[in-house]
């Protein structure tokens, strides 16, 4: 495919419109529940890389995870402030794996194929999780997906 060279003005207009669409999307997503099933993937190429196919038995779930560090409860017994161990406490797993786990908890009969980043604002990160139902006839009969049934 031949690449078209845009003028600076056209490029700036295009970037501004893409940014506006992204901003509106995030505003909508903030109002939705933390785990939401979506009709189509936001990034089709990323979903297909993870194994998504547009056929029955495959679903896409958008999962929202809060950003920032975590806090431990303050110890009840006395000690000097330096040894409280309350701040600078990091979670042991990535936000992406948290999003996958939340999606799996919402849809326990599905298997997680993978996930990809779709957006973030100052408070949240959103990931789309590709899930498949190994017992669906369309998936069970597919020889390319036989590995899902082996367990």
Three-class secondary structure of residue 148 per DSSP: helix
* pLDDT of amino acid 95: 92
Three-class secondary structure of residue 38 per DSSP: strand
pLDDT (tens digit, 0 to 9) for every residue of the chain, 151 residues total?
677 777 877 777 777 888 888 899 999 999 999 999 999 999 999 999 999 999 999 999 999 999 887 777 777 777 777 767 766 677 778 999 999 999 999 999 999 999 999 999 899 999 999 999 998 999 888 888 888 877 6
Which one, of 119, 117, 122, 124, lies nearest residue 97 by Cα? 117
* pLDDT of amino acid 87: 67
DSSP 74-112: PPSS---GGG---SSB--SS-HHHHHHHHHHHH-TTSEE
If 0-12 CB within 10 Å is exposed, 13-18 middle and 19+ buried, where does residue 19 land? exposed
Pairing, β 124-132 against β 58-66:
antiparallel
Set out the domains of the chain in order of their start, with CATH numbers: 31-75+82-148 (3.40.1120.10)
For 43, the token pair is: 């990034």
H/E run at residue 11: helix 8-31
């Amino acid at each position: 495919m031949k690449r078209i060279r845009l003028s600076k003005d056209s490029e700036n207009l295009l970037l501004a419109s893409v940014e506006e669409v992204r901003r509106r999307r995030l505003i909508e997503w903030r109002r939705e529940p933390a785990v939401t099933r979506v009709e189509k993937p936001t990034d089709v190429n990323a979903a297909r890389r993870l194994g998504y196919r547009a056929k029955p038995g495959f679903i896409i779930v958008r999962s929202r995870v809060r950003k920032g560090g975590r806090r431990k409860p303050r110890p009840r017994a006395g000690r000097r402030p330096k040894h409280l161990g309350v701040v600078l406490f990091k979670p042991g797993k990535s936000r992406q794996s948290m999003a996958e786990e939340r999606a799996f908890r919402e849809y326990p009969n599905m298997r997680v194929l993978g996930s990809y980043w779709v957006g973030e604002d100052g408070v949240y990160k959103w990931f789309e999780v590709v899930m498949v139902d190994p017992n669906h006839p369309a998936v069970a009969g597919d020889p390319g997906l036989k590995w899902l049934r082996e367990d």
